[in-house]
Structure 1
Amino acid sequence: MGNCSSVEFKELSNRIQKTRVLGIISGDAESRFLSPQELVQDPNALLKPRKKTGDDSFGLSLRYGFTPKIGTTPQYEKFLERKNKITKQRKLPRPFYMNVIYQVRQSKINIDPYDSDTRGFKANSTGKLPLLENNMAARNIMKHFQRDTKSQSDFNSRIGHLNDFNFEFDNICERTTIDSVCNKHGQVFVEFLTDSKFCVLNGRFGEKSNQYTSISSRGKSVVDYICVPHDIIGSCKDFKIVPCGDVVGAEGIQNLIDTRCKIPDHAFLVFDYHYRYNLNSELGNGNKTDINNDVKTDQNRKHFKLRSIPADFMCSDIIKQTINELIRTIEICREEQGEIDSIYAAFCDTVFREMEDKVPFTDCSKRTRRKFRNDKPFWNDELSQLWKNMRDKEKAFLKTNGHGARRKARTEFSTSQKTFDNRLRFLERKYKSNLALDIEKVSTDNPRKFWDELNKLGPKRKKDIPMECDIGSGNITCDKSEVLQKWEYDFSNLYKKVNTTSDDIFYAHAMQHKQLLEDNMLDPLFEPNGKLNGTILIEEVSGSTKPADGTVMEY
């Protein structure tokens, strides 16, 4: 969450598509309600950057797994293909919904209640918020959400100590809150939660879940929430709020900050969702067994080089004996799901152990993983010290509770933040100015160096020759000695004439043509061509080969 440019938003989207993430939030995302027809025509409309910045609109994002009632479009087909790919990767047996909601600040509401006839919103000056205040809007939003649904949002709602559930009917644990302020958005938001049987995860998972989600020089507050239905709150684990400053400090990417890449003032809302479903009910069996499909992260991941599998892989006597025992176990098993799973797990364990012993691999754990960091050339020790000072002031501001002390800590944090931003902008402008002056100076003194400097400004090119070759029969080898030997053999025989047989027809035709030319020259009436057989003069050569740059040629 937070503000970012359109270019950074697209880059963030491309990075997230490569990871195990279902949805993203951005302060510059399109924030307006769409009618069902518009949503079907362009399901990704709400994930596009706005043309204008600011909080002059609000909206609800698309959701995975809905069925359109209007004709399909190429955009929807692309969206559906992506949804199916996500569902297949996570092995989800049924639709999985993820919503991203953005709501304008209270001081900028200027809309009319939900119009059920037009299925849209109209601008007016009534100052009401139909998303949460009108029950019809809530029903229209949630009517498709009959399965597991989650909403992660920047609601701009401060609910304080208000309860988001009914003590008499709902069996939900109470939450703790660090922000005691409640605004009008918060009151309407709590009514919406109680009506739709949703609850927020904030403050229900210990101290890490009870933190401020918005931290800026204007103050600190809790305005971002993740909402889930009451029946799946047990599947949500380890919810925590991580400020962006902590992420930047932990990853050591302070030197990537510049005037176009600022730190968002909103925090990350992170939690683990354990997807539970009834496997036997999906297969139509009578027995019900709940399976917890947890996605576990392997801390010691290994990337096996499958192109370098040795010839003796899975050929040892121990492996053959193990495989034969598994085959005999399959023959005598009672074809029950539990036995089949255990046999498959034993087979996978055997294969993986053999791969670790025979197949070369590289360690891809977090400790050894190389990270690409495009360091800012103008970053120095002064900026590092200012960054550290700003982080210390921010932490002190979060820990302060007294009214007077809190105002003082907020002022100090705001001052340190402005000092860091001003110095960062100054050093960046100075670096760009000096770079432009150097390039301008080089353009007149050394043209060759000028073009070399311009080439440095473009994207980096990596010239790397792959150390692999085809040794025949489609077998690829990556062994350095075999690759060099293959290259030496191929290049040494590149211009050697292997086939000594010549084309007899072509040779006979050439000899016949040669004989005709010689007979023509022996004819008494033959007159030689003086221009072709004459002497070539130096003046002719110098006139034909005059250089373009005007240099003098010596003969």
Structure 2
Amino acid sequence: MAGVDISNSTIRNQVDQRKRKPSQNLDGPENETEMKNNNKRVKNDDPNNSESAVLYAINTLTEKVNSVFDSLSSRMDNLEKKFEDGLSEKIADAVRKVVHEEFGKEISNFKKQINQDIGNIKSDLDKLTKSYAEVANPSANNKKCNIVIKNLAPCTIEINDPSATMNTVNKLLRDGLKLTDIKVSQAKRLTPKGKNKTGLIIATVDTFEQKQKLMKSKSSLKKSKNFANVYIENDLTPEMRNNDNNLRQILKMVGKERNFKVFGGRILPNKAKSVLNYLNLDIIGVCETFLKNDDNIEISGYQWYGHNRKFKNAKTKRGSGGVGVLIKVEVLDNFSVSILDSSVEDILWIKLSHKYDDSNNICFCVCYLPPEGSSRLNDGEKFYNDLLQQVYCYQNEGFVYIGGDVNSRCGSEQDYIQGVDDINDREIIDVFSNKYGDLLIDFLTSCNLCMLNGRADGNNDFTCVSKRGRSVVDYVFAPHEQLDMCTSCDVYLMSNLIVDTGLNFEKSIPDHGPIVWTVNVKKDIACDTRQAPNTDRPRYNLKRFPLNFLNNNKHIQDTIDKIEHELVTNKDINSAYTEFVTLIEKEMKDTVPLLKTPTGPSSNKRKKSLRKPYWTEELTSLWNKVCIKEKQWLKCKNCTNLRRKLKQEFCNIRNQFDKLNRNTKRKFQLKEQDNLSKLFQSNNTRDFWKYIGNIGIANERRQNIPFKVKTDEGFSSDVDVVLDKWKTDYEKLFNSGDNGNFDNNHLDWLKPSIVNKLLLVTQKMKFDDKQHFEIFENNSTLTIENEPDDTDISGDKDLNVRKLPDQYILKDQIQTKEEQLISFDKTKMTKLNCHLSPKYFTTNSCFNSERHFTRDKRRKIQD
């Protein structure tokens, strides 16, 4: 027990020690050393070791109690800390909840009062700013709701009443902008600067919000037919306009006018334009679209008409080749579009039929020919043969234009037949040629087409530029007679387009640049000489023409009286001609039998027209075989092998026909050229030009007389100007001025040569008695005086001699110019003793040559 008490006291001492030193580590190495020393001391003091065992147990128990105490103290500390933290959080939440509930309403009311005070301050500040602006610049406040309208033509009421301008502007808002809820309160038209110009209109709307709505919808005027050229702008003060002009001038001086724009007194960067917006094209032909199956191209404002390849390589992801046409939506308002032909791969024909005028129809073809050595099997000769056949089929459907990438380099070869076609030469920049180029030249000369590249006005350049080189392989073709309709043709390089439009290209710069040509398809009605077929017009059988035609003297006399009345009294030649036509029509209706119109299934059959002058029977036979083989191939739909065989037979016979056709045409052209060359070398100009006229090149398409004349200011197509010019020129042609001194000067120059000729004639002439002869030569009279002879004198068709009685020869009669030529000395003529034989007039052409020589001389003097 004593040991136990001692041990307990020891424990207490140790506990007190721990309380005084809580941070001391009881399990450290010093305590362990001390305990080991105590154990050793106990063992050494007690030989029996019983007490030492008790002490050892007590020490062990003490260690365990200490460890338990340490863990309990740490847990108590943690519990106290957690309790304090949780208590503080609960107190904070309770306080926060009480504050929010008690003071939340008061805080929200306070915030509302602050926001209301801030709004009042802002409104007061705005009022002060507006009042200051009105005082400083009153005109700016008045122009806030104003708009400026340009190119708005006055209506009929406004011409008589200038105050009706407001009605004109309201009509623009109602019909053009479709703004029925906005009306102008004031409108005034300013006096225009020019005679043919419309003055600016300054209009005022009620509120600024209406003006904003109006300015947002002004872009819709471009789609309006009546207001397409009308523009609406802000009404700026003179100071603002001057400021904008100065800024634009600064941009122009530094060369940045394309990259920046001036808007509202500020310099803003220009957004990159698309190529379509920059070029502003109406019809676009696209080659190598790379579309598959029924894919198409969708571009805002354009309608797509495509022709994709049906067969492609199975290993490729995208399509190949393909052509198409994009047509602006505005064009469809006046034209209806239809596909003429898409039967040939990479060739597409479309027709734009004018809704109001059939004479302005357009046939546009876009085509693509793969280059030589392409992986896709292609036949350039077959390509141009198919295109030639299509040109012949559609050349009368409208104005023909062909464009595309044909990979043909023509070099310095001309695209027309020299000496036959009357067109100007083209500017040649690509001097190299290839096999396709020769085929292209043959195609153009065959159908009388020519290139617009380098021939029409505009920029001519290489159409394909890449790292591999440069070339001209893209073309635009048009018939010879349509060259005057093409006002310009420009070739754009892609590098220039990128600079001008700010275009961002993703991968690489395209090789081919666009070709843009402008065509004026508008024609005057008076220019069209074609007449619509009149189905009601009767057809007469002229083979059974009666003998009693125009035997009614009463009708004839009545018509003569009417014609004289119109010419003398009314001086109206048109009415006089109408009376004559009425007489002829009435007589034909009464006397000439009508031609019976055939009926039945064979009434519409017509013979085949072989219009080509080189056409032969062999060509006809081959052509009939081609038609038969083509029909057999197209009608075969069952057996694949048979259809393949028929197609091969058609291709073979077609190639034979094309080859023979080209050879025959080439030989014919060479023959015609040789004949023309021989006629030209023979100096027979009359037969030469007559032969030229008989060739009849492209006579089918030459249907219109050019209704255009050249004036001092240029060319004019105005009806009054053209008719007045024609009238004046024809008056000068048939009513030349009379020169009184011309006859005397001409006779003085001609007398010596006539005397020499007559002296030569006296050696072959013999006169017995006095006779008078009147010589008629080319509608002129020549009277000579000689002696009679038994020899009969007669002339041919160019020279006729006739005897005249003496009583018809008067000495004081008025002689013609030719009579004066030999009347200068009649005494010498009576003394001539020679013989005048008919052979002289037929063999010797001295009078005839002298006659033509004097006529040419007189014409030169008059000119």
- TM-score, length-scaled by structure 2: 0.24
- TM-score, length-scaled by structure 1: 0.36
Query: Greater share of helix residues, 1 or 2?
Result: 2
More relative contact order, 1 or 2 (CA 8 Å, 6+ apart): 1
